[in-house]
């Protein structure tokens, strides 16, 4: 039986993700003027909303699908498709977020990829795309041998956590850039309470992003919260892994 702590952690992660979406949407709509797709600053407003939605929240939800207790009694194949589908949607939103900012930069003649935020962000999206392609080839294609899946599984898990860390880092470096702008526009000797409401709101969004990332990473890192493997599948994977290793050794000796 799943622990109460696991269930409460999932609920906490769900609430934090929804709050992240609410905060970033309110910020772009209320303080930044809304949305458009015409090359103006209103088009840029899509960038933080799409990146938070795809590269952080939806990615985090998709990553912990296998850790949802109510899915453990159901066929794993179905939830593999759900996992892959949510990840693909998260990737699409992330790419749209990049398109929004690149198109905006072209419109105002600003060079691309000139900050640490952009470097980390583009690295996260590229790694995400590679991860999704490897996952599709290794875990969903029927022709993929089970011993390859067993070898790829720890790598897939590690890269997934790395993408989450890169996503949180990219979003925080963007919030840091905004904080510098707010502080430079105000008297730095003034107390924190004198900052504009927008600055405090953005700081709150940053805390929500960190909290969501930590909760998601905690769920993924707890081995006791993994989906129980079916005995037949575990035995078959182990036998195929041994067979694959033997074949590789034979080929190497030949």
The domain that holds 161 is classified in CATH as 1.20.120.1770
Does the pLDDT of residue 253 top 90, yes or no? no
Burial of 139 (0-12, 13-18, 19+ CB in 10 A): middle
Rounded Cα gap, residues 28 and 243, in angstroms: 55
- How sure is the predictor about 232, in pLDDT bands with cuts at 50, 70 and 90? very low
- How sure is the predictor about 190, in pLDDT bands with cuts at 50, 70 and 90? low
DSSP code for 115: S
- How sure is the predictor about 252, in pLDDT bands with cuts at 50, 70 and 90? low
- How sure is the predictor about 235, in pLDDT bands with cuts at 50, 70 and 90? very low
Tell me the residue range of the domain where 78 lies.
4-252
* Percentage of residues of the chain with pLDDT beyond 90: 60
Pairs from 65-68 (Cβ < 8 Å, separation ≥ 24): 66/226, 66/227, 67/6, 67/10, 67/219, 67/220, 67/225, 67/226, 67/227, 68/10
DSSP SS3 for 217: helix
Rounded Cα gap, residues 173 and 179, in angstroms: 10
Q: What total of structural domains would you count in the chain?
A: 1
Give the pLDDT of residue 250: 60
The mean pLDDT of the chain is: 87
CB proximity list for 91: less than 8 A, separation 6 or greater:
54, 125, 128, 129, 132
Question: Phi and psi (nearest 5°) for 134?
Answer: -65, -40
Give the pLDDT of residue 228: 84
Give the pLDDT of residue 196: 85
In the numeric block, the tokens 């207790």 are attached to 69
Rounded Cα gap, residues 91 and 81, in angstroms: 15
Rounded Cα gap, residues 138 and 10, in angstroms: 27
- How sure is the predictor about 180, in pLDDT bands with cuts at 50, 70 and 90? low
Range 221-233 average pLDDT:
76
Give the pLDDT of residue 2: 60
CB proximity list for 233: less than 8 A, separation 6 or greater:
76
Please spell the DSSP secondary structure of 150-165, one letter per residue.
HHHHHHHHHHHHHHHH
pLDDT digits (tens, 9 = 90+) for 79-114: 999 999 999 999 999 999 999 999 999 999 888 888
DSSP SS3 for 110: coil
């Amino acid at each position: 039986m799943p622990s109460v702590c696991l269930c409460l952690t999932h609920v906490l992660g769900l609430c934090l993700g929804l709050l992240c979406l609410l905060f970033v949407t309110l910020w772009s709509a209320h303080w930044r003027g809304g949305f458009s797709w015409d090359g103006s600053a209103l088009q840029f407003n899509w960038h933080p909303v799409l990146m938070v939605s795809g590269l952080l929240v939806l990615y985090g939800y998709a990553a912990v699908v296998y850790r949802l207790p109510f899915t453990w009694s159901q066929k794993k194949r179905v939830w593999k498709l759900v996992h892959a589908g949510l990840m693909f949607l998260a990737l699409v939103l992330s790419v749209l977020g990049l398109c929004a900012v690149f198109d905006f930069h072209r419109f105002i003649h600003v060079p691309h990829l000139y900050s640490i935020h952009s470097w980390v962000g583009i690295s996260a999206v590229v790694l995400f795309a590679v991860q999704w392609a490897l996952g599709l080839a290794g875990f969903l294609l029927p022709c993929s041998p089970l011993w390859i899946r067993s070898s790829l599984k720890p790598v897939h898990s590690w890269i997934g956590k790395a993408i989450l860390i890169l996503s949180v880092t990219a979003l925080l470096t963007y919030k840091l850039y905004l904080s510098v702008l707010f502080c430079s526009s105000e008297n730095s000797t003034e107390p924190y309470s004198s900052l504009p409401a927008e600055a405090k709101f953005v700081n709150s969004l940053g805390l929500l992003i960190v909290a969501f990332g930590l909760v998601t990473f905690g769920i993924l890192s707890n081995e006791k919260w993994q989906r129980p493997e079916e005995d037949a599948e575990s035995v078959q994977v182990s036998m195929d892994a041994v067979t694959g290793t033997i074949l590789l050794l034979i080929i190497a000796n030949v």
